[in-house]
């Protein structure tokens, strides 16, 4: 059975309230629209009836007078025809002379209205022209925001050709008592239903905000390594009981974590001490054996040879300790715009004697880099990382092989990155040490300290980057991935 949260239930109730308000408003709008449609229909009937009234009065006047009518006759019959049609105006139109008669007997303004409405004069002319072309009744409906303009034109058949009658009325759709009742109903709906929804929404917003603050506090990064932060009280009684329980659990978890970290630190120190002891014991044993043999033999030449061997072993121990100090003593970064091509050339130059001795050629590829946009890196530390990678590649490349240094600017997930690659044609990395390749004291060479690649990893992490072995490459390839600029 699905369990829904309190927030989901409140949100569902809030949505139902809004939906109820929307449906009620839609129904009210439907009722209002029907009432306005009735108003428009009534006005349309009144306009049509008035137009027919003008036709009837015109026909009666022609019969009674037995011929053509004068302009005053037109004015009188239009005035009489529209006298019983409230809100309807109209007249008689001539093809040759335009408007020959106009009347608006029910006009509610001051005085008698005798001038043709200028705003609708073009529409009236077009309506009468269409009536004459078709010789039939033509109706026109022009809706606007607050009213619907209704016109009807009727042909006048008599002794004078080119005459038409027209009538015009207005149905007010967004004005008047009906519209005011509709607005009042919507206002009442807003105060009741929407007011209730707003109150529920305010409560839901506040409750969700308290939950969101607790979630953000729990999800925020904690540099001190704490598993649970100290949560602040929310002011909501039910939530505060949970906050107190979480704070108490966090305290117990911190105590347990402190004990676990202390135990892990002691174990790590023990492993490191054992590794250092193992690495130093071999040179000391070799020096002791050489010294004992030289003392026993009494041969000066053998003593000199023994001293040289002792000095070599001392140099090995010194290298081990120096690399160990470089690994454990973090140095602050000194970022600056750095030209990569000269940096790669200098790294290759420092190792050229060693490369020549092993008959290995070193190639550099940095042609595709932009000339003006330089990466922000610490050149000394990046050069040190490249030296370690280059020396590692030279030591594993057989005579006649090739080592290549490459630098390129790439875009990854919308961010600009610096990729430094070191490729060699050596036999590759043994599968047994791939997973722990960058851990201290991991090496495949008997004379190696296993700290060079660990130092490279620390330099990459200090730059907020990474280093790794490219899987599936045609050659043994190490990739140093750094941000082009610090974020």
**CATH number for 262:** 1.10.287
Predicted local distance difference test score (pLDDT) of residue 350: 84
**CATH number for 76:** 3.30.450
Domain assignment present for residue 470? The answer is: yes
Residue where a domain terminates, one of 269, 301, 328? 328
Domain assignment present for residue 453? The answer is: yes
Residues 318 and 362 in one domain: no
Predicted local distance difference test score (pLDDT) of residue 403: 92
DSSP β-bridge partners for residue 455: none
**Three-class DSSP category at 241:** helix
Predicted local distance difference test score (pLDDT) of residue 422: 92
Domain assignment present for residue 291? The answer is: yes
Domain assignment present for residue 192? The answer is: no
Least confident stretch, 15-29, 117-131, 394-408, 464-478? 15-29
Residues 75 and 133 in one domain: yes
Predicted local distance difference test score (pLDDT) of residue 224: 46
pLDDT per position as a tens digit, 111-146: 788 788 888 888 888 989 898 888 899 999 888 877
Model pTM score: 0.41
Domain assignment present for residue 217? The answer is: no
pLDDT band of residue 70 (cuts 50, 70, 90) is confident
| Longest pairwise C-alpha distance within the chain | 165
402 pLDDT more than 90:
yes
319 pLDDT more than 70:
no
Domain assignment present for residue 67? The answer is: yes
Residue where a domain terminates, one of 110, 144, 179? 179
Query: Which position has the higher pLDDT, 269 or 290?
Result: 290
Residues 284 and 348 in one domain: no
Residues 161 and 285 in one domain: no
Residues 138 and 99 in one domain: yes
Most confident of 181-195, 339-353, 444-458: 339-353
Domain assignment present for residue 226? The answer is: no
CA 121 to CA 128: how far, in whole Å?
Answer: 11
Asked if residues 151 and 127 have their Cβ atoms less than 8 Å apart, the reply is: yes
Predicted local distance difference test score (pLDDT) of residue 405: 93
The secondary element (H helix, E strand) that includes residue 406 is strand 402-412
Range of the domain at 450: 336-483
DSSP β-bridge partners for residue 377: 336
Residues 23 and 106 in one domain: yes
Average pLDDT for the chain: 78
- Beta-carbon-side half-sphere exposure of residue 264 (alpha carbons within 13 Å): 6
Residues 278 and 129 in one domain: no
CB atoms within 10 A of CB 241: 10
- Beta-carbon-side half-sphere exposure of residue 339 (alpha carbons within 13 Å): 7
Residues 53 and 155 in one domain: yes
Which residue, chain included where needed, has tokens 């917003």? 205
The mean pLDDT value for 390-419 works out to 89
Residues 121 and 168 in one domain: yes
Domain assignment present for residue 267? The answer is: yes
**CATH number for 341:** 3.30.565.10
CB atoms within 10 A of CB 219: 9
CB atoms within 10 A of CB 134: 11
pLDDT per position as a tens digit, 192-248: 777 777 777 777 777 777 777 777 777 776 544 456 677 777 777 777 787 788 777
1 pLDDT more than 50:
no
**Three-class DSSP category at 102:** strand
Query: Which position has the higher pLDDT, 365 or 32?
Result: 365
Predicted local distance difference test score (pLDDT) of residue 90: 92
CA 37 to CA 24: how far, in whole Å?
Answer: 20
Residue where a domain terminates, one of 141, 160, 179? 179
The mean pLDDT value for 436-462 works out to 70
Q: How many structural domains does the chain have?
A: 3
- Give the pairing of strands 415-424 and 376-377: unpaired
Residues 149 and 251 in one domain: no
pLDDT band of residue 34 (cuts 50, 70, 90) is low
Residues 118 and 258 in one domain: no
Query: Which position has the higher pLDDT, 337 or 265?
Result: 337
Residues 262 and 352 in one domain: no
The mean pLDDT value for 333-361 works out to 88
């Amino acid at each position: 059975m699905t369990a829904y949260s309190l927030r989901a239930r409140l949100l569902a109730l809030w949505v139902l309230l809004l939906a109820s308000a929307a449906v009620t408003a839609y129904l009210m709008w439907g009722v209002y629209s029907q009432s306005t449609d009735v108003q428009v229909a009534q006005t349309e009937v009144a306009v049509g009836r008035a137009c027919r009234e003008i036709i009837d009065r015109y026909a009666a006047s022609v019969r009674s007078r037995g011929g053509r009518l004068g302009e005053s006759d037109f004015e009188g019959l239009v005035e009489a025809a529209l006298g019983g049609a409230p809100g309807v105006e109209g007249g008689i139109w001539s093809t040759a002379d335009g408007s020959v008669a106009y009347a608006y007997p029910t006009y509610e303004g001051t005085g008698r209205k005798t001038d043709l409405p200028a705003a609708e004069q073009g529409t009236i002319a077009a309506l009468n022209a269409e009536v004459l072309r078709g010789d039939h009744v033509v109706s026109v409906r022009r809706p606007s925001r607050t009213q619907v303009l209704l016109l009807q034109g009727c042909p006048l058949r008599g002794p004078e050709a080119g005459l038409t009658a027209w009538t015009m009325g207005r149905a007010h759709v967004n004005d008047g008592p009906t519209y005011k009742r509709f607005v009042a109903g919507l206002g009442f709906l807003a105060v009741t239903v929407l007011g209730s929804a707003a109150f529920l929404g305010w409560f839901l917003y506040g409750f969700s905000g308290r939950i969101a603050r607790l979630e953000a506090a729990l999800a925020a990064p904690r540099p001190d390594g704490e598993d649970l932060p100290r949560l602040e009280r929310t002011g909501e009684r039910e939530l505060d009981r949970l906050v107190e329980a979480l704070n108490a659990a966090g305290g117990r978890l911190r105590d347990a974590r402190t004990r676990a970290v202390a135990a892990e630190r002691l174990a790590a120190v023990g492993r490191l001490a054992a590794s250092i002891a193992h690495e130093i014991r071999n040179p000391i044993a070799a020096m002791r054996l050489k010294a004992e043999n030289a003392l026993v033999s009494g041969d000066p030449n053998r003593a000199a040879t023994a001293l040289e061997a002792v000095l070599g072993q001392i140099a090995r121990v010194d290298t081990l300790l120096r690399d160990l100090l470089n690994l454990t003593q973090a140095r602050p970064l000194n970022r600056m715009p750095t030209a990569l091509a000269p940096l790669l050339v200098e790294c290759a130059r420092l190792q050229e004697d060693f490369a020549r001795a092993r008959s290995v050629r070193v190639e550099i590829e940095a042609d595709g880099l932009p000339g003006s946009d330089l990466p922000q890196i610490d050149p000394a530390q990046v050069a040190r990382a490249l030296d370690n990678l280059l020396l590692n590649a030279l030591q594993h490349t057989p005579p006649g092989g090739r080592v290549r240094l490459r630098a390129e600017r790439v875009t990854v997930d919308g961010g600009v990155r610096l990729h430094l690659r070191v490729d060699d044609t050596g036999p590759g990395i043994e599968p047994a040490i791939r997973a722990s390749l960058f851990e201290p004291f991991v090496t495949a060479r008997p004379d190696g300290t296993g700290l060079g690649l660990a130092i490279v990893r620390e330099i990459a992490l200090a730059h907020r980057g990474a280093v790794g072995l490219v899987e599936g490459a045609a050659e043994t390839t190490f990739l140093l991935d750094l941000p082009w600029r610090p974020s």
